[in-house]
Amino acid sequence: MVSVRFEEADITVKEGSNLLEALLDAGHDIPNSCRAGACQCCMLQATEGTPPADAQKGLKETQKQQGYFLACRCQPNTAMSVQRNAQVSSTEGILISKQQLTDSVLQLKLKADIDYLAGQYINLVRHDGLSRSYSIASVKSLDDHIELQLRIFKNGQFSQWALNEFVMGESIELQGPFGDCFYTKTDLNQPILMAGTGTGLAPLYGIVRDALQQGHTGPISLFAGAKNSAGLYLVEELKALSEHYENLSYYPVVLEETRSKPDSCEIGDLNAVVRNRVPNTKGYRAYFCGSEDRVKTLRKQTFLAGANMQDIYCDLFTPSS
């Protein structure tokens, strides 16, 4: 028998049983369905101790790294402390820079003491409680600030406030970080595919710099899409990065052709351009960020082209109503 700490209670897992059964027997309401590790409804997170390897079978490397495991497959052999979800940490951020990158993209740089991985997201909570989630574009080992890239909505409560009223030196609450859309140093030679439209570039900008900084040597293809050239941003920065690193290929893509389109910019739908450029994704790791419909289509397209679903990481953006 092994004792597991869960929500201030000690749960005994009998030999031959698993943690899910022990938790249910103790009266804890744990979501579950297949009880065979397929549905992943019973996923928990270890805060102390190491989950058995079998309990993490089928999970992404980013999930394993954060201590997530499946209770139905967990037959612990050592003491553990577990929780339903990672506790929400909160800290103060100070605005140190604000710049409008395009008509629809606002860059914020905040000074804050939090541990994060490039590509994760945080919640910004205004003093009146209004909150929005934004992906992190900075890299902790490279930047001394947290960078966020906000899409500016014409009638957006938060984005309009950030654009017009949020001033230098003002504080704001940060919650997080959250999410598993980040780079892990598991296979330095694995080819990587990245794609996103609009501010879907924000987490990709952080992830690609993080991967290169950690010594990734496999080919990286980064596709950044916009309706027209006015919607593209960080073009020069990404061009410079691709010139410095031979294994990085940067593809700006616009749906509509304009006379001022950047050199080497491709015209067409982002999904079609990605499919034409990378028709076979077997062995690839992929990162897709942006609108829900776009990301889901890219994920399906990439899976059908050969990639393992466990190697596809997504960050879906859902505008607030």
On the question of pLDDT at 147 being above 60, the answer is yes
Torsion over CA of 206, 212, 217 and 218, rounded to 10 degrees? 10
Whole-angstrom CA distances from 101 to 77, 151, 212 are 53, 10, 24
On the question of pLDDT at 35 being above 90, the answer is no
Taking the domain 192-317, which CATH number applies?
3.40.50.80
- Total count of residues recorded for the chain: 321
- Residue 316 pLDDT level (bands cut at 50, 70, 90): confident
Q: What is the pLDDT of residue 6?
A: 94
Domain 90-178, CATH among 2.40.30.10, 3.40.710.10, 3.65.10.10, 3.30.420.40: 2.40.30.10
Structural fold of domain 2-83 = Ubiquitin-like (UB roll) (3.10.20)
Whole-angstrom CA distances from 207 to 216, 219, 251, 306 are 11, 14, 16, 22
Q: Smallest Cα–Cα separation from 266: which of 256, 279, 280, 278? A: 256
- Comparing 176 with 159, the larger pLDDT belongs to 159
* Distance in angstroms (rounded) separating the CA atoms of residues 255 and 230: 11
Q: 247's torsion region: left (phi>0), alpha (psi -120 to 50) or beta?
A: alpha
% of the chain with per-residue pLDDT over 90: 72
**Residue 148 contacts residue 108 (beta carbons within 8 Å):** yes
- Residue 36 pLDDT level (bands cut at 50, 70, 90): confident
90-178 shares the fold of 2-83:
no
Which DSSP helix (H) or strand (E) runs through 125? strand 121-125
Q: What is the pLDDT of residue 120?
A: 92
On the question of pLDDT at 87 being above 50, the answer is no
Instruction: Output the DSSP codes for 266-288.
Output: EES-HHHHHHHH----TT-EEEE
State the chain's mean pLDDT as an integer: 91
- Domain ranges, ordered by start, for the chain: 2-83, 90-178, 192-317
* Distance in angstroms (rounded) separating the CA atoms of residues 187 and 311: 11
Q: What is the pLDDT of residue 33?
A: 58
Q: What is the pLDDT of residue 39?
A: 62
Average pLDDT for residues 177-195, to the nearest whole number? 93
* Distance in angstroms (rounded) separating the CA atoms of residues 150 and 203: 11
Pairing of strands 105-111, 90-102: antiparallel
Which DSSP helix (H) or strand (E) runs through 124? strand 121-125
Residue 11 neighbours by CB under 8 Å, 6+ apart: 3, 4, 5, 19, 22, 23, 26, 28
On the question of pLDDT at 38 being above 80, the answer is no
Residue 82 neighbours by CB under 8 Å, 6+ apart: 4, 5, 6, 19, 44, 45, 46, 47
On the question of pLDDT at 150 being above 50, the answer is yes
Pair of tokens at residue 252: 């700006």
Q: What is the pLDDT of residues 290-312, one digit of tens each?
A: 988 999 999 999 999 999 999 99
Instruction: Output the DSSP codes for 173-211.
Output: EEEEEE-S-S---S-TT--EEEEEEGGGHHHHHHHHHHH
